Structure 1
C-alpha cells in the first residue's frame, strides 16, 4: 500500500493518468499534423474551390437556339437580352429564337425575337467619331417580361486595367461553362476590345464577361484572339452607347 492508498485506488489513479496522457498526446498530434495536412491539400489542389459565381449571376445566362445554331445570351432587363451577332448569324431583325435559362430555378424556356443587329456603320461615340469595328458584333433579343430572374448589372468598362480578374459564362455545346482569367490588354489590334487570358470556346460567344470584384458585366465575349488560350471581349461601355443610339431601353 502506497501512502496508505489501497491497491485498487492506486490502479484507478494510474488508469486516470494514462487516459489523460493519451488525451494530451492525441491533441498534440492533431495540432501538429493538421496544418501540414491542410497545406498538402491546397498544394495538390485536393480541396474544391469555393464557387466564385453566386446563383443570381448564373441564372440570367441562357442557352439560345436558332436556325443559326446555339450559343449564349444574357438578361440585362426583364425584356432585353444581349448576345453576339455571330450567335444569330444569318438571321435578321424580327426572326425568332428559343431561349433556355438552364441555371435558373425551374429552368424556364421562353421565345424571343431579334430586336437589333449592330453593323459597321453603327457609331459607339457620342462625339460622332468613326465607327469601331469591335462594336459590330452585338445582337439584342427581346422577350416577354420575365419576373422570376433578376437581370445582370452592367458595370463600367472604362476603369479596368490589365490584371483585373474576370470570368466568362457560357454554354459551349449546350453545357454550362465558367472560364476564369484576367485582362491582358485593354485594346486588341487597335480596337476597343479587352484581351482576356482565358481559353476561348465558340460556345461562349455572346456570354457575359463578369468582373470578379463586383459581379458586374464588363463586356460580351466574341471569341478567340491570336493565341489559343485567350478571348476577346466587347467593352460594355461601347455596348451601352450602341443601345442608347438605337433607342433601346435597358
Structure 2
C-alpha cells in the first residue's frame, strides 16, 4: 500500500510507503471544504495531525494549527455529515472550512496551505479540495487545548466557541456547563454523551454498512449558549481537548474584553 496525498486544483502528489509528513501542500484557488480519505477509521486515528492556514498579504490566518486529525474530523462533520467509507477507504470525511459552506476567497497572490504530519507510514491517506460557487465571509477556526495530568479541576472559557471535542477517559468524574443566563448544570460523562447523541446520531458508517453513533474516545459537546465548561477529574491523566470557533461571536467577545 502507498500513501497518497492529493490536493485538488491540478496538484497531485503521490508518496511511497514510509511518509509521515506531507510538508506544505499548496492550494491556489479558494475551496470550501477538505475531503479527507484514509485507510483508518476515525477511532483508529492516534498521532495524526493537521494544520490549515491561509497566506494573505501581510498576515497569515490559521484555521487549524497542530490539531489532532481525529478532532478535526469530528468538529467539521458534527451534526452535518456522517463520516463514510467505501471499498477503497475506511474513512471519507467532508470537512467544512467555512461556516456557511462557501469558499475561502483568495486574492491574486494569496494561497491556502495544508500539512498532514505524524502520519502512520503503513496507512494510506488522501486529501482533496472541494470548490463552491459562492465566497464565504466567515472561516471555521479551531484551537487545540490540553488538560494537565496534575489538574483535578479545569475551567475552560467557551465564549466565542460553538463545539468542543473532549477526550473520554475514566478519570473524568463530572462536567459542569455554565450558560449565558448564569445557570449551571452538572453531568457525568454518560449523561453528557447521551445529550450530544441526541444532536448527532450518526457519526460513522463503516465498510460493512454498520453505523457508529459515538466515538470510542471523544465526546463532542455543542457550546451554543455555554460560556464555560468545568472538567473535574482524578489526577494522573493528561487529556486532549479541541474547540471550534464561531468567528462572529468570537470577535464580539474579543472586542468586549478590550
* TM-score normalized with structure 1 length: 0.23
Q: Report which of the two has the higher share of strand.
A: 2
Higher relative contact order (CA 8 A, sep 6+): 2
Q: Report which of the two has the higher share of helix.
A: 1
Kindly name which structure, 1 or 2, has the bigger radius of gyration based on alpha carbons. 1
* TM-score normalized with structure 2 length: 0.23
